[in-house]
């Protein structure tokens, strides 16, 4: 896939927006003093002249310590398998009750950008590739420059979460709503802190755009990989709840996909009318 050729300017601009609290996100006094040029420099420092498929786990640590992801107690929302329509991100944006990684300082800066290191250079002398980056797959390019970023930022998000937390999963995901190899499964869930997280609420949402007739749920809260996840979390000593098609998200999906058969009084296959 192509890279974001003007990434340095974009990161700097987003850093200034976030730092100055122009985004309506919870905004800490601590961030106000962030030096954006230095922050952007540290973003690239660990990946310059590096093989884009052999990024060290800690490549972004200096950057992430300058602008750590923080969320308000009781609002941290994880998601997995539902990225296509940006539903969790949009729900989080319109309600202060939920905060996703993409709303935190580092998540906002890097959101929807593409970048990677380069050992051979491409003429810019920056040790980055401004033309093309290898596609992530666990087999061909496991320690991808971009994957290393989201993995580390996700870990920090989970580690700092306090109070009730949420995870949005796709009830119609092929292979199961809870995917064992996902970042949620491998990085976020294992880094939640039993001493401070008071409940993990699973929000199982149907795909209102795809809207497979009479099949809102391939899995429910009481079977398949979702049941497995609940047991996994309970074995880790977490309180767990699970809700199918919670209203806060259903409303937004119906606003977005107004003609979905999953909306309205004639919604078919909906056990939670």
Query: Which chain residues interact with ligand NFD by CB under 6 A?
Result: 78-81, 83, 101-102, 111, 136, 144, 146-147, 150, 154, 157, 179, 182-184, 188
Nearer to ligand NFD, 232 or 269 (CB): 232
> Percent helix, strand, coil in the chain (nearest 5)?
35, 10, 50
> Which of 59, 61, 188 is closest to 115 using CA atoms?
59
Nearer to ligand NFD, 50 or 183 (CB): 183
Nearer to ligand NFD, 46 or 81 (CB): 81
Largest CA distance in the chain: 61
Q: Do residues 119 and 49 lie in contact, with contact meaning Cβ atoms separated by under 8 Å?
A: yes
Q: How far is the CB of 266 from ligand NFD (least distance, A)?
A: 30
Nearer to ligand NFD, 114 or 260 (CB): 114
Q: How far is the CB of 175 from ligand NFD (least distance, A)?
A: 11
Q: How far is the CB of 131 from ligand NFD (least distance, A)?
A: 18
Q: How far is the CB of 273 from ligand NFD (least distance, A)?
A: 28
Burial of 91 (0-12, 13-18, 19+ CB in 10 A): buried
Could you count the other beta carbons within 10 Å of the beta carbon of residue 137? 9
Nearer to ligand NFD, 39 or 157 (CB): 157
Q: How far is the CB of 224 from ligand NFD (least distance, A)?
A: 16
Residue, CB closest to ligand NFD: 147
Distances (CA, A) of 260 to 168, 177, 204, 250, 265: 20, 21, 17, 11, 12
Instruction: For 19, list phi and psi in degrees, rounded to 5.
Output: -55, -40
């Amino acid at each position: 896939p192509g890279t974001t050729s003007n990434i340095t300017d974009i990161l700097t601009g987003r850093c200034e927006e976030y730092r100055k609290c122009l985004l309506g996100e919870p905004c800490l006094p601590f961030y106000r003093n962030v030096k954006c040029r230095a922050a952007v420099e540290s973003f690239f420092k660990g990946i310059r002249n590096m093989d884009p498929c052999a990024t060290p786990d800690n490549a972004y640590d200096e950057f992430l310590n300058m602008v750590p992801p923080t969320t308000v107690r009781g609002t941290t929302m994880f998601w997995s398998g539902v990225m296509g329509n940006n539903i969790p991100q949009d729900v989080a944006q319109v309600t202060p009750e939920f905060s996703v990684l993409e709303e935190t300082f580092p998540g906002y800066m890097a959101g929807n950008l593409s970048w990677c290191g380069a050992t051979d250079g491409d003429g810019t002398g920056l040790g980055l590739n401004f033309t093309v980056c290898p596609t992530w797959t666990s087999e061909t390019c496991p320690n991808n420059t971009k994957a290393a970023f989201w993995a580390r930022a996700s870990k920090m998000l989970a580690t700092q979460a306090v109070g009730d937390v949420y995870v949005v999963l796709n009830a119609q995901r092929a292979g199961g709503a809870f995917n064992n190899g996902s970042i949620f499964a491998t990085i976020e869930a294992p880094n939640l802190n039993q001493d401070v997280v008071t409940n993990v609420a699973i929000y199982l949402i149907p795909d209102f755009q795809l809207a497979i007739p009479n099949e809102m749920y391939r899995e429910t809260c009481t079977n398949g990989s979702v049941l497995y996840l609940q047991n996994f979390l309970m074995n880790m000593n977490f309180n767990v709840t699970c809700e199918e098609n919670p209203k806060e998200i259903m409303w937004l999906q119906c606003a977005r996909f107004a003609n979905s058969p999953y909306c309205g009084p004639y919604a078919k296959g909906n056990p939670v009318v």
